[in-house]
Amino acid sequence: MPRTLDETVDASLLKDQSGKSDATSVGQQEGTPMPKYLVLYRSTISAADMMATATPQAMQASMEAWMAWGAKAGDALVDFGSPTQPVGDGDPGPAGGVGGYSFIQAADIAALNTVLEDHPHKAMGTIEVLEVLPQPGM
């Protein structure tokens, strides 16, 4: 089930395939790859609209904040991602549409929280985190 991230990820909200919800079941176990997370950036204003209405100074400040976060995230940031744009007229709901994404790897919930701490998107929207599960049989 998708989760919206405000300040931290509650370990009880993340469950592994067996349904366990303690942080150790989500973290890296010996002999298994480090968990990877899809991070969705939601906002009630589309990324295209934000970019179209922002001043050059605001765009520069935003880019600097994102680059500083990326540098701080280091190797945990698997894919910086990109802004996204809806292609249909679907209702994004109260959390807003997905305006972008990133992929992060983290050994456990505490490490994930550290990477997402002080994330620049929190000033303009919410962050949703989904664990990417391994493909069965692969």
- Please write the tens of the pLDDT for every residue from 8-65: 444 433 433 334 333 333 344 566 789 999 999 999 988 889 999 999 999 999 999 9
Residue 91: its pLDDT value, please?
A: 80
Question: Are 70 and 62 in contact, with CB atoms under 8 Å apart?
Answer: no
pTM of the model: 0.74
In the CATH scheme, what is the code of domain 1-8+47-133? 3.30.70
Delimit the domains of the chain by residue range.
1-8+47-133
Residue 4: its pLDDT value, please?
A: 42
Q: Does residue 106 carry a pLDDT above 70? A: yes
Q: Which residue has the higher pLDDT, 101 or 92?
A: 101
**Sequence-separated (6 or more) residues with CB below 8 Å from residue 83:** 47, 48, 51, 99, 100
The token pair at 133 is: 């599960």
